[in-house]
Every structure is written in structure tokens, then in C-alpha cells.
Amino acid sequence: MSNVRVLVGTHKGAFILSSDGKRKNWTVSEALFPGWEIYHMKGSPADPNRIYASQTSGWFGQIIQRSSDGGKTWETPGGEKMPAPGEFPSGASNKFVYDVSPETGKPLTTHQWYDGTQHPWEFKRVWHLEPSLTDPDAVYAGIEDAALFKSTDGAHSWHELSGLRGHGTGPKWSPGAGGMGLHSILLDAKNPQRMYIAISAAGAFRTDDGGKTWKPINKGLKSNYIPNPEAEVGHCVHHIALHKSRPDTVFMQKHWDVMRTDNAGDQWREVSGKLPTDFGFVIDVHAHEPETIYVVPIKSDGHHFPIDGKLQVYRSRSGGNEWEPLTKGLPQRDCYVNVLRDAMAIDSLDSCGVYFGTTGGQVYCSADAGDTWAPIVENLPAVFSVEVQTLP
């Protein structure tokens, strides 16, 4: 029987939750990197023992940690020196190196907010780590301010894929309420040259040549909070997800609206259906059913908690429009937590498991595709991210 390893990043450290395929009895690790913000932690699909973690602190800066033994021990590839607050970490921990614009040959140093003011481009933190599907030493990093980096040497050194920021719209990107983060990276299992990314608040982008050039893919999105609601960029995308068997179909949880595309982002359409609210942060896809998707509706952008204090996951088995609430085992009164954009994950067992974490420190598991839920752990720091590994 396969085992499951759930990787949880929190406001004050990381935790590894382990169980067998029944997913009833769990072992919770001690806190890893206690006191540090762990924005994201994810395992390599190519090597179940390789895990990467984004460790950050407003005081000590940004570090990428790496484990080669399933999280038992960790190392900081690339050096010991940590950057000072606000310092570009080039030559410091993990050796992040910014590239130059492929159009001008010069570094991109500023971006413009909607009020027209110019702001310096800063390296603040790594929001998301996406290991290669085939090479355990290759991993992508989405950062704030929004840029995309890649390492091919196990996180020792990082180089920017500058075609993204070098796209003509780059200087016009603006931050969302939580910052200008590149938070979603989707790799196409059928086409290694294709990748999708999403930025808050710029929108979604696609490359078809391994990151050299990029195309904004926001046609069909409408955002009434920006000067031009149907602009090429400027949309606050919260998360994107796909099923590996159908990489042309991508689902999106936007600032408002749940969306889908069936042509790799060339055109989006709304599938919010009869959701009680179409505001939320997470969206994910069933491991074996490409048309089954999950969201967690949040009351509004002004109230980041569930409607009426009832924590509900919604599932659509038709790829959107038709939705059902999943509440069995979840608190249905006095619950005012949020579920952040990287805090849901799906395992690949025959009876598909769904997991999510909350800002209240709970991590929930459903071993039956969402029909029933039970908490794995309830008193962690606020959960930033949840990822899962299905182990032999």
C-alpha cells in the first residue's frame, strides 16, 4: 500500500505529516525551520526523497532549503551568507542572479502602479517552488516582485528567465493586496517547452519555448477594479490548476470569478455557476477526473473568511457551473479562517485524497475525494501552503 507525505508551510515553520494509504492515522513532525516563514515546500516528482522549501524572514532574508532524504535532513545549497533585508541576494544564499531584458539588454529596474508612479523592482521572497517533472536538480522559483527563476543544479544557483519580465507589459504590472508575487507555475507533462504562470496582479502568461518568450493569456477575463476591465494585463489571478492528461484545459480562481480555458489560455470563460460567492484563493483538480474541480468560497475581498462562519469546500464534477457543497466533518459555525492560494493539494491514490490548510492552523484531509473531512492537525501556525507526495 502506498504512503502519503503532506508538506505544510506555515507562518512559523514547516511540518511534514505522514500516513499510510488509509489516511486515518497521522504522524506530525516537529517544526522545521521554527520561527521562519515557509511560503512553499514541494517535493520532486522525479525523486520522492528530494524536497525544496522557501524559507524567508523580514530580518534575515530569503533562503532555499533542500532535502535529499525525504525531509529528515536539510541543507542550504549555494552558500551560507544570508542577504540583508531588502538586499538582492546575488552572490548570497542560493545565488539568485537577475538577468537583463532580452529587448533592451538592460536590467528591468522599475514597475508602474495604476496611479502612474514608478517603483523599484525588489527581490522580497520566493512565493512558489515548482520542481521539474523529470530532473530532481531542476526547479523553478516564482518570486516577489514578480519574476521567474530556474535552477539546474539543485538550488545552488538561480538565473532569471528574463523573457517574462522583458515582455512589453512587465513595467506595467502592479501588486495585489498581498504583494506582486508570481505564485503559480504549471508544467505541461506532454510538452516540456510549455509552461503557465500567474501573477497577482498582472494575470496569466504562457511560454511555448521553454521560457524564452511569453504571451499574456488573459482574453476573456474582466476585472472591474482596474482602469480597463478587459486589459491585456492587470488582472488579479489568485491561482491556476490543470490535470496532467489535459494540459490545454486550465482552471483559474480569479480575484472574483472562477474561469476555465480549453485552448491553453487563448480564451477564458466563466464557470462560477451557482457558487455562493466566486471569490476565493485556491482551486485544484481531481487526480483521476479532469472535469472534477475544487474551490473554497470566501465571503468577499473585504472579508477573508467563509460565508456565515461555515467552512465549505465546493466541488464541480462538470468542470464548472454545477457545484455542490462539501461540509461533512468541517466546522459549520463560528469559523472565520481563510484558505490561501497554495494551501490545497490532491494525492494520486485510487481513492483520491484532498487536503487543505487554513490560517487558523488546521490541516484537513478527505480520503474520499471530498465527501467527508477530518482534521490531521489543528494547532499549527497559519498555513501558507500544502503539498502532497504519494510514495511507493
SS3 183: strand
pTM of the model: 0.93
pLDDT at 306: 94
Q: What is the pLDDT of residue 157?
A: 87
pLDDT at 372: 98
Q: Are 205 and 196 within 8 A, CB to CB? A: yes
pLDDT on residue 82 = 43
Q: How far is CA 135 from the centre of its chain?
A: 20
- pLDDT means per 10 residues, the chain with 392 residues, are 93 97 96 95 97 89 92 82 42 60 63 70 90 98 94 91 85 84 97 97 96 96 90 95 97 97 98 95 98 96 92 97 96 97 97 97 98 97 97 88
Topology of the domain comprising 37-383: Methylamine Dehydrogenase; Chain H (2.130.10)
DSSP β-ladder status, 158-160 and 96-97: parallel
Q: What residue ranges do the domains of the chain occupy?
A: 37-383
| Residues present in the chain in total | 392
Q: Are 97 and 160 in contact (CB under 8 A)?
A: yes
**What stretches of 165-319 show up as alpha helix (H) in DSSP?**
none
Q: What is the DSSP string of 344-375?
A: EEE--SSS--EEEE-TTS-EEEETTTTSS-EE
pLDDT value, residue 108: 66
Q: Per-residue DSSP letters for 284-305?
A: EE-SS-TT-EEE---S-SS--S
DSSP assignment of 226-254? SSSTT-SS---EEEEEE-TT-TT-EEEEE
pLDDT of res. 93: 54
Which cell is 125 given? 521572497
Q: How far apart are CA 344 and CA 259, in angstroms?
A: 18
